[in-house]
Amino acid sequence: MEVILQKDVDRLGKAFEMIKVKEGYALNYLLPRKLAVIATAGAKARIEADKKAHDRKEITRKRDAAALAKKLEDVSVTITVKVGEADQLYGSVTTQTIADRLAAEGHQIAKKDILLEEPIRSLGVYNVKINLHSDIVGEVKVWVVKEESTEA
């Protein structure tokens, strides 16, 4: 049976592709979940129009992501943390901490888009990558500094 995918399906294909699948798979899985439609002449025309609209939106999103990446190159955030002996951090700096700090400076970035291999556990300056689009990765400078004690 020929179907046209409406959304990306793992190990099957991308949205707007026309593929052949077994009838049972189409009727019992793809169609009820609105992942695909049967490939009729009308559906082909509608999907073609949807694909063009999707491509136009994608170009706009990519352009916006590139502009944001350029803007983020100049951004640096400072995160003050409490430290113990030998400047050892209490806790760590996570993607949530960085996202909150960026939001305070007017940059709404989701924590899932901040790419940290592991939480930051020491003082210093870090270049943190941010996934802005499937093809575009920005970078922000993160300064982790110790909190000044107010003991006198």
Cβ count within 10 A of residue 27 = 14
Structure tokens at 39: 């490939």
Domain(s) of CATH 3.10.430.100: residues in the chain: 74-146
Per-residue pLDDT of the chain (152 residues; tens, 9 = 90+): 999 999 999 999 998 999 999 999 999 999 999 999 999 999 888 888 888 998 999 999 999 999 989 998 888 999 999 888 888 888 899 999 999 999 998 889 999 999 999 999 999 999 999 999 888 999 999 999 988 765 54
pLDDT at 19: 94
Which fold does the domain 2-69 belong to in CATH? Ribosomal Protein L9; domain 1 (3.40.5)
pLDDT at 34: 94
Domain(s) of CATH 3.40.5.10: residues in the chain: 2-69
pLDDT at 33: 96
pTM above 0.85, yes or no: no
pLDDT at 70: 92
pLDDT at 151: 56
CATH code, 74-146: 3.10.430.100
pLDDT at 91: 86
